[in-house]
Amino acid sequence: MTPTSDKSAKRGGLSRRGLIGSAGAGAAVAVAGAGAMAATGGAPAAASPSWSTVAFHGAKQAGITTAAQDRLHLAAFDVLPSATRDDLVQLLKDWTAAAARMTAGDGAGPAGPLSGPYDAPPDDTGEAIGLDPANLTITFGLGPTLFRDAAGADRFGLAPRQPEALTRLPHFPHDFLDASASDGDLVVQACSNDPQVAVHAIRNLTRIAFGRAAIRWSQLGFGRTSSTSTTQVTPRNLFGFKDGTSSLRAEDTAGIDAHVWTRPEPKAGWLEGGSYLVARKIATHIETWDRGSLREQENIIGRTKAEGAPLSGGHESTAPDFALAGRAGAPLVDASSHLALAHPEHNNGVRMLRRGYNYVDGSNRLGRLAAGLFFIAYVTDPRTHYIPMQAAMASNDLLSEYLQHIGSGLWAVPPGIADGEFVGQALFT
Amino acid sequence: MTPTSDKSAKRGGLSRRGLIGSAGAGAAVAVAGAGAMAATGGAPAAASPSWSTVAFHGAKQAGITTAAQDRLHLAAFDVLPSATRDDLVQLLKDWTAAAARMTAGDGAGPAGPLSGPYDAPPDDTGEAIGLDPANLTITFGLGPTLFRDAAGADRFGLAPRQPEALTRLPHFPHDFLDASASDGDLVVQACSNDPQVAVHAIRNLTRIAFGRAAIRWSQLGFGRTSSTSTTQVTPRNLFGFKDGTSSLRAEDTAGIDAHVWTRPEPKAGWLEGGSYLVARKIATHIETWDRGSLREQENIIGRTKAEGAPLSGGHESTAPDFALAGRAGAPLVDASSHLALAHPEHNNGVRMLRRGYNYVDGSNRLGRLAAGLFFIAYVTDPRTHYIPMQAAMASNDLLSEYLQHIGSGLWAVPPGIADGEFVGQALFT
């Protein structure tokens, strides 16, 4: 697919090294100075042994139960109307190959940002040269519109295999969704502890998609709001509270099996071992929140701001006692608090693996920061594991006054990818 | 200014500890679990000894020659029409006090996010509890519109002391400025290696400004594109090239003195020891750039992509030889390359201290990443040190085809702040 340097030399009459050499510069030094990454593409042997990498291939896609990285760049793509089923398959193959390379610390393409033909565009854009992947994971999902268009027509011959749970999320009370920040045929979640690495991944996958799919919307998250491992400290959201305290952790394998990986679906055997990605862009009215008293804030959340302990007592990890009453017989944990409404006890035992991020998209015309929480959860089935809870919370949660859901998306996340396969392969065979 | 816990206890009948205590929870444990930061506000003694802090007080403002941190949140503010000169002075006092606290790792207010009256809003928003300041610096600047409004009227009695160099930057060729991402009465640059810390700083300064000033626009930058110290690795911009190779470094004190700190201005003695902050939001057409060959990219930049060496030979730090000719007698470094046009040799010896950042603001309606470079430079005088260079570059730079200036601002940056003083104090006395 990529012309070799030999071909380039024939076409242009000069290889890259030849040109630099003709200027009297030290070509070898110049290439060696490029840092470890992808100077020659190919084998991860070039990578620094101290780099932090997460295995791309496996039974599950990486980036779900992987310890939540600090930074996010997520992009939703629409497949172009002109693209065929073969184009879609080739795109998924190309994306898989590029993701495997980038997560290992190599360039997006086999030649890398600095090698290959000097008179052709590099197959990697270069801004991650020398950067540690910093646990980069790239996770792919397929949206309902990939199966059927708005009129219900089968776009790529995939409609018969559309999972029943994979439909657009319903309208919830107080939703104020921006279509240009919602949905999408495909989604790519890039997480890394280095934001430049995550941006580089999305940017190169976007470049690779050229002519077949285009970005519908994308989102950067600067700080994680969930832990997915018991080894991680619980982070804080922009309300200043610890977030995701009761979110599932990877070490709870029984919980992960029960609540994250899909259940068998008759029409969608290809999704076995996968999951569903629920994304919600939740704008937070932080200016209003900041005017509330500490007492009111803690009552709304149902936990202390300091430690994140339930207001019924104990520590962060203590189970809340929703019956325990305080003065005048009122429960210490308000029945409409966020804690109460989100708790498994009030949601048929439902638990979620959350992977959300704080975001700030500059500021708005009112002179306020356009800030919020980009909610991500991986669930076994959105019909049991997100929709009922969000319906209740949108109506009753005391926190609702301080937030507004402005973006939404649901994607089926195929199972892990074996070496030599491409993401979603079972759907096409 | 902030009511004490005693007052709160009287008003509400219950102190915060009292309430938690009445629920049977361990109040002491809850507070201790809050992490080191600002559990009680006040002295930095609470901070972890391993935290990285930069001194706030000094002869110069921090955040200029400080080794460039990895992340940026910058906000431009407009003072409200209703605000008086006294309001402005009080705002600068309040901002100074909060900045001194936050850069030391404390809360924005004296009580902190968790102490103080339980029935009043906390004087810190809490999302940085327990976080290392990660070299947080907060740098303040004053815009031309603070001195005179659009009609030329003196807003706060400051017009007679407006520096001659402090006017709106002129229109440059190909400028396509968005007024809502340009200018502003005041600017605050928050830099930290932890983006949550930088966002927390801007968010709290915004909160403190309530009723006196509001955000006009703000910008996050996820990765620095300049080094300001010889101890730092040269970073890469979204063109994939090393950026800021010839930018001034803090260790070059003679260069800093000559090119960064202001020269005496008869009307503006208050600015002595200060600088000017030039900001330019530069959208980059990365999709187009990515279609260019490596040869073309290097010719446009004038340097190799691998090491950043001039195309005339040598290493990154080698001085370019603009006369050295290659095949057919053409100079190896194109006279319209970015290197040639930005070089001091072609700009009357002008050098700049650059502090720019890569940004991605999601994506646009064309399915492209809204990406670019948020250019920041500190200069002794924009009339000699930015305007002539940008005028030449906007007209002739080969790189101009791949970028568009969409935001712009110029602010006078007062000198450093002594303990007990407030930023810009000399302007008001």
Per-residue pLDDT reduced to its tens digit, B317-374 = 999 999 999 989 999 999 999 999 999 999 999 999 999 999 999 998 888 899 999 9
Q: Which residue of B has its CA nearest to A22?
A: B326
CB–CB contact A118 B203 (8 Å):
no
Q: Which two tokens stand for residue A423?
A: 């993401």
Sign of CA dihedral A375, A381, A385, A390: positive
Nearest to B357 by CA among B159, B163, B71, B33: B71
Instruction: Tell me the angle at which helices B85-103 and B195-208 cross, rounded to the nearest 10 degrees.
Output: 150
Q: Which two tokens stand for residue B49?
A: 């000894």
Distance from CA of A183 to the nearest CA of B (A): 14
Q: Which two tokens stand for residue A362?
A: 């500059």
DSSP letters spanning B187-218:
EEEEEESSHHHHHHHHHHHHHHTTTTEEEEEE
Alpha carbon distance B397, A363 (integer Å)? 32
CB atoms within 10 A of CB A411: 26
The three-class DSSP label of residue B280 is strand
Q: Which two tokens stand for residue A222?
A: 């600067």
Q: What confidence score (pLDDT) does residue A115 get?
A: 79
pLDDT interval class at B21 (50, 70, 90): very low
DSSP letters spanning B54-113:
----SSS-TTSSSPPPSEEEEEEEEE-TT--HHHHHHHHHHHHHHHHHHHTT--SSSSTT
Q: Domains of chain B: which residue ranges?
A: 1-33, 53-429
Q: What confidence score (pLDDT) does residue B39 get?
A: 36
**pLDDT higher than threshold 70 for residue B28:** no
* Tens digit of each residue's pLDDT (9 = 90 or more) over A34-68: 333 433 333 333 557 789 999 999 999 999 999 99
Find out whether B350 and B384 touch, Cβ atoms under 8 Å: yes
H or E element at residue A186: strand A186-192
Which residues 6+ apart lie within 8 Å of B143 measured at CB?
B76, B166, B183, B184, B185, B186, B187, B409, B410, B411, B412
Q: Which residue of A has its CA nearest to B224?
A: A196
Alpha carbon distance B19, B205 (integer Å)? 30
Name residue, tokens 């740098």.
Answer: B139
Alpha carbon distance A360, A371 (integer Å)? 4
Average pLDDT, integer, range B405-418: 98
Which residues 6+ apart lie within 8 Å of A192 measured at CB?
A69, A70, A71, A133, A134, A135, A136, A137, A198, A201
Distances (CA, A) of B395 to B173, B308, B338, B341: 6, 24, 12, 10
- Average model confidence (pLDDT) across chain B: 89
* Tens digit of each residue's pLDDT (9 = 90 or more) over B75-92: 999 999 999 999 999 999
Q: What confidence score (pLDDT) does residue B41 get?
A: 38
Record the pTM.
Answer: 0.90
Which residues 6+ apart lie within 8 Å of A169 measured at CB?
A278, A382, A386, A387, A408, A409, A410
pLDDT interval class at B27 (50, 70, 90): very low
Chain B residues in contact with A113 (beta carbon < 8 A): 240, 305
Q: Dihedrals φ, ψ of A12, to 5°?
A: -90, -10
Give the bridge partners for A411, in sequence order. A277
Chain A residues in contact with B307 (beta carbon < 8 A): 29-31, 33-34
Residues in A 146-175 with any Cβ partner in B closer than 8 A: none
CB–CB contact A305 B113 (8 Å):
yes
Residues in A 304-333 with any Cβ partner in B closer than 8 A: 304-307, 309, 311-316, 324, 326-327, 332
Find out whether A138 and A61 touch, Cβ atoms under 8 Å: no
> Which residues of chain A have a pLDDT value below 50?
1-45
H or E element at residue A278: strand A275-284
- Among A125, A220, A237, select the one facing B240 at the smallest CB separation: A125
Alpha carbon distance A21, A170 (integer Å)? 62
Name residue, tokens 């503010």.
Answer: B77
Q: What confidence score (pLDDT) does residue B47 get?
A: 57
Q: Dihedrals φ, ψ of A382, to 5°?
A: -65, -20
**pLDDT higher than threshold 60 for residue B55:** yes
Average pLDDT, integer, range B185-207: 98
- Among B24, B26, B223, select the one facing A195 at the smallest CB separation: B223
Find out whether A325 and A331 touch, Cβ atoms under 8 Å: yes
Nearest to B269 by CA among B386, B414, B378, B155: B414
Q: Which two tokens stand for residue B176?
A: 């396509």
**pLDDT higher than threshold 80 for residue B10:** no
Q: What confidence score (pLDDT) does residue A424 get?
A: 98
**pLDDT higher than threshold 50 for residue B35:** no
Nearest to A63 by CA among A106, A105, A104, A103: A103
Which residues 6+ apart lie within 8 Å of B165 measured at CB?
B265, B276, B381, B382, B383, B412
**pLDDT higher than threshold 90 for residue B157:** yes
Alpha carbon distance B135, B228 (integer Å)? 14
**pLDDT higher than threshold 70 for residue B15:** no
Alpha carbon distance A362, B134 (integer Å)? 22
Q: Kindly state whether A357 is in contact with chain B, defined as any CB-CB distance less than 8 angstroms.
A: no
- Average model confidence (pLDDT) across chain A: 89
A-B Cβ pairs (cutoff 8 Å, strict): 273
CB–CB contact A29 B307 (8 Å):
yes
pLDDT interval class at B8 (50, 70, 90): very low
Q: Kindly state whether A15 is in contact with chain B, defined as any CB-CB distance less than 8 angstroms.
A: no
Chain A residues in contact with B223 (beta carbon < 8 A): 194-196, 199
pLDDT interval class at B313 (50, 70, 90): very high
